[in-house]
């Protein structure tokens, strides 16, 4: 499984020939727009955690050009349906569904969710994905919440994608606590550096994680790791 970072909270996961794009926000992201060309992305699925602009901006264009299937909470699925996109799969919190690439569990996130035009985006969400012999948790934008312990008990996670930029989401301290709740040793940081208010000190965050016996992975934009 290859995990490629597209900046902010956007990732492109390739697995067994399936290509899955998370929370596309590339063309307005000054850190990513010259590195990632959205025209070269040709996902089979786009997963959206919540409606905020910094998670959805490029979704409509990529959905139309790739004919990918959108997986998101009901209200977000309906929003794109109303824009003429027919390949949508709506879900809701606590539900799971098995697709050809694996099983997606939609889990809660503590955040808010509305589109730029004010349309209600339903509850914000995260995803636990069981794909082949890998299980991972993509938290979306969220505060730390104690039910992450339940995720840690119900799944044997290989890795977690956690926001670490603070202000709008968890910061590094809560993200490390989250890894304890989730029972994971390594986590991929997201939702940092894109805007001045979420800039982080990479060395300090890395040190903080290490001090707690955790491995923080900060991928360069365009960079990837194999899981």
Interface residues toward Ni ion, by CB under 5 A: 52, 141
> Of 70 and 198, which has the nearer Cβ to Mn ion?
198
Check binding of 54 to Mn ion (CB under 5 A): yes
> Of 141 and 206, which has the nearer Cβ to Mn ion?
141
Distance CA 4, CA 7 (A): 9
> Of 75 and 141, which has the nearer Cβ to Ni ion?
141
Stretch that binds Mn ion, among 62-70, 136-144, 146-154, 194-202 (CB under 5 A): 136-144
At which residue do the structure tokens 């004919």 appear?
A: 67
Helix 202-211, helix 172-182: angle, nearest 10: 30
The distance of closest approach from Cβ of residue 219 to Mn ion in the complex, given in angstroms and rounded to an integer, is 18
- Both structure tokens of 150: 């339940």
Strands across the sheet containing 186-190: 96-99, 102-108, 125-131, 134-138, 159-163, 186-190, 215-217
> Of 52 and 105, which has the nearer Cβ to Mn ion?
52
Check binding of 75 to Mn ion (CB under 5 A): no
Stretch that binds Mn ion, among 67-75, 96-104, 135-143, 207-215 (CB under 5 A): 135-143
Stretch that binds Mn ion, among 45-53, 68-76, 154-162, 178-186 (CB under 5 A): 45-53
Q: Which residues contact 30 (CB under 8 A, 6 or more apart)?
A: none
With CB under 5 A as the contact rule, the residue among 141, 166, 174, 206 that binds Mn ion is: 141
* Paired sense of beta strands 159-163 and 186-190, if any: parallel
The distance of closest approach from Cβ of residue 52 to Mn ion in the complex, given in angstroms and rounded to an integer, is 5
> Of 44 and 141, which has the nearer Cβ to Ni ion?
141
Radius of gyration for the chain, computed over Cα atoms and rounded to the nearest angstrom? 16
Stretch that binds Mn ion, among 48-56, 124-132, 145-153, 213-221 (CB under 5 A): 48-56
The distance of closest approach from Cβ of residue 33 to Mn ion in the complex, given in angstroms and rounded to an integer, is 17
The distance of closest approach from Cβ of residue 26 to Mn ion in the complex, given in angstroms and rounded to an integer, is 14
At which residue do the structure tokens 């040793």 appear?
A: 185
Which phi and psi (to 5°) does residue 126 adopt?
-130, 175
Helix, strand, or coil here: 124?
coil
Helix, strand, or coil here: 185?
coil
Distance CA 159, CA 135 (A): 7
> Of 52 and 214, which has the nearer Cβ to Ni ion?
52
Q: Contact positions toward Mn ion, by CB under 5 A?
A: 52, 54, 141
């Amino acid at each position: 499984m290859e995990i490629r970072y597209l900046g902010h909270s956007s990732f492109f996961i390739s697995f067994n020939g399936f290509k899955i794009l998370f929370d596309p926000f590339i063309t307005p992201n000054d850190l990513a727009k010259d590195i990632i060309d959205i025209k070269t992305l040709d996902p089979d699925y786009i997963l959206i955690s919540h409606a905020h602009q910094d998670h959805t901006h490029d979704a409509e264009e990529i959905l139309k050009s790739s004919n990918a299937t959108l997986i998101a909470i009901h209200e977000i699925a309906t929003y794109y349906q109303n824009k003429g996109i027919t390949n949508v799969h709506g879900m809701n919190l606590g539900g799971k569904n098995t697709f050809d690439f694996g099983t997606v569990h939609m889990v809660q996130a503590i955040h808010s969710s509305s589109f730029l035009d004010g349309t209600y985006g339903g509850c914000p969400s995260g995803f636990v994905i069981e794909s082949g012999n890998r299980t991972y948790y993509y938290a979306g934008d969220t505060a730390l919440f104690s039910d992450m312990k339940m995720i840690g008990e119900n799944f044997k996670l290989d890795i977690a994608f956690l926001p670490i930029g603070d202000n709008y989401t968890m910061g590094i301290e809560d993200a490390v606590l989250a890894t304890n709740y989730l029972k994971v040793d390594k986590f991929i940081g997201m939702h940092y550096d894109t805007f001045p208010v979420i800039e982080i000190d990479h060395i300090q965050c890395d040190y903080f994680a290490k001090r707690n016996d955790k491995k923080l992975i900060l991928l360069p934009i365009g960079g990837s790791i194999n899981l």
